[in-house]
Amino acid sequence: MSPEMLDSAASEEQFKDDGVLENTTESELNNNNPDYTQMSLMELIQAFQEMLNRGDQQEMYRNADVIKAAFYKVLKKEKIAIGFQAPSEDETTPVDVQDDSDDSKVSVNPFAEVERGFKSLYTQYKTLRASYVQVLERQKEENLVQKTRILDELKLLIENQDDLQHIFPAFRELQNKWKVVGPVPQARNKDIWDTYQFLVEKFYDFVKINNELRDLDLRKNLELKQALCVKAESLADETNVVSAFNKLQKLHEEWRELGPVSKEQREEIWERFRKATSIINKKQQDYFETQKDSQKQNLTLKTEICEKCEAIVALENKDWNALTKEIESLQAEWKSIGFASKKDNQKIYDRFRAACDAFYGAKREYYSQFKNTMQENYEKKIALCEQAEALKDSQDWKKTTDQLISLQKKWKEIGPVARKQSDAVWKRFRAACDFFFENKSKHYSEVDEEYEINLKKKLELIEEINEFKLDVKQSENIDALKDFQGRWAEIGFVPLKEKERVQAAYRHAIDQKFAEYKSAENENRLNNYKKHLKDIKSAGKGDKIIRVERDKLVQKFRKMEADIAVWENNMGFFAKSKNADVLINELEKKIAAAKQELAQLEEKIKIIDKQQEE
């Protein structure tokens, strides 16, 4: 092989290394499609029909799936706009989910005929496309036969080099035939092209062409390749990267069909073309890398939305109104996110659609049973009204109070009733409760005088605390603190309107005088408990006993939390009743004591946990 042909082969190898793609789809390379997203359903169908009528296979391949996606997006929007919901299973099955041959079924879906018409057009396209691909593959096989025949003729031409005047024109004729013949099957493309290049190079190596004819041919090739370089360099200014890359591929195809240039200029012209190619290839690579990163991010975001939606579906007790808003918010967020990669996009959409369908299916089922449930709730509340009315005249204040509180708790546990019944049944129940508590309040109003006396006693005790002089002995001060606390606890209730003021004054006096001793007393109590645990742990089965004690403390803690919640809830209920000050006062005292005990239980649990970690 001559040096010139070796250099040409190297140039071809360099062309392959530059990474020019041969299978980029038309849809990726064409950004000039009409904006189908702005069309109506009928306009999309008409556009599809017109495209089929034109019969342009490349146009159909570029736009068919784009129109399909736009059609179903518009169809979905219009369904939502009119509030359309898919019919239930017991209704007539819509036409758009039946066999198209069965025209006897009547659809309850107003969009079914439109959708079926579009599906019919899309089926025509798929049939045309399949036929076109078959024809194209047959043509490629025929092209392979023709190019194989041309290669055989080239071999014979190279072997017969007697008549130069006839050989060179025959060679040019074979080259022209090769250019005219279209592509061959991809699996044979490289082998047959390499064979052609080899024979062409061999022809230039062995055929003795006169210098004038050879130089003319080389100069012509140089001019053509310079023109290709100019075109390739101009592509760097195009803003549409995909379009520029597509054009570059065509320039490379033209370059491959051209013969060599003079040895002195061969490297220079190829380097110029290679540099222009590298610029476009780099822009194309960066463009698709950016797209890949964006698609990965979109997939991650959509996966998170699916997980949130699936978590909502998995909830056992659902606030349907609130959760519906959350689902709608997730759907809006989904629409704001771009596409994932082609292999993942449909899968992630199917996952999200399945979660949304599951939610709305469960919601429909819930509301279909909601009327029966509300009637059952109404009957339960009527029964509670009757029980409350049976108790309203009772004068067993403590027992009846507990019974009514229990009824109130049950009332809150019962679900809603129909709006037109809700106010009436509530007023009936509340009237019975109010009647009892008003009577109870009247009964306890007789102790108001005693409350005034108690108020006077507590104010005197506060004054005594303020005037108390601390002793140098800590034990004496602690004893005095306990004495004040005991005497305060022994004094009964005060008028409700004075309760917070006098209680605050008492706490302030105690905190000012005995703050350090209260802390010391509590610390001493906790230290004694720690010592108690260590003594247990030193026994034979100390760990087991401590675990049992912790379980008891946790159970007591949880029960007390629940009791406090019920008491606080009942305070809000009683506050609506007249003359309920006495009952509220009792509950507040009970809640304060319970919270103090709750804090002590929590400290003991923490002490146990800390010792178990050590």
Residue of 247 and 17 predicted with greater confidence = 247
CB-based contacts of 59: which residues, under 8 Å, 6+ apart? Answer: 51
Tell me the C-alpha distance between 355 and 323, whole Å.
13
Cβ atoms of 84 and 111 closer than 8 Å: yes
Q: Where do the domains of the chain lie?
A: 294-371, 445-613
DSSP 572: H
Q: In 3D, which of 440, 463, 439, 457 has the Cα closest to residue 495?
A: 457
Tell me the C-alpha distance between 160 and 566, whole Å.
110
Residue of 15 and 434 predicted with greater confidence = 434
Dump pLDDT digits (tens) for 339-367.
877 778 888 888 889 989 988 888 887 77
Residue 354: Cβ within 10 Å count: 14
Beta strands in 272-319 (DSSP E): none
Distances (CA, A) of 437 to 398, 404, 586: 11, 10, 14
Distances (CA, A) of 243 to 240, 283, 339, 501: 5, 11, 21, 82
Quick one: average pLDDT of 412-422?
84
Residue 181: Cβ within 10 Å count: 16
Dump pLDDT digits (tens) for 513-537.
776 655 555 665 666 666 666 666 6
Cβ atoms of 201 and 9 closer than 8 Å: yes
Residue the block writes with tokens 């939305």: 305
Interior angle at CA 460, CA 455 and CA 461, nearest 5: 95
Beta strands in 273-431 (DSSP E): none
Distances (CA, A) of 546 to 527, 595, 607: 16, 24, 11
Dump pLDDT digits (tens) for 262-299.
888 888 889 888 888 988 888 888 777 777 778 888 88
Residue of 457 and 104 predicted with greater confidence = 457
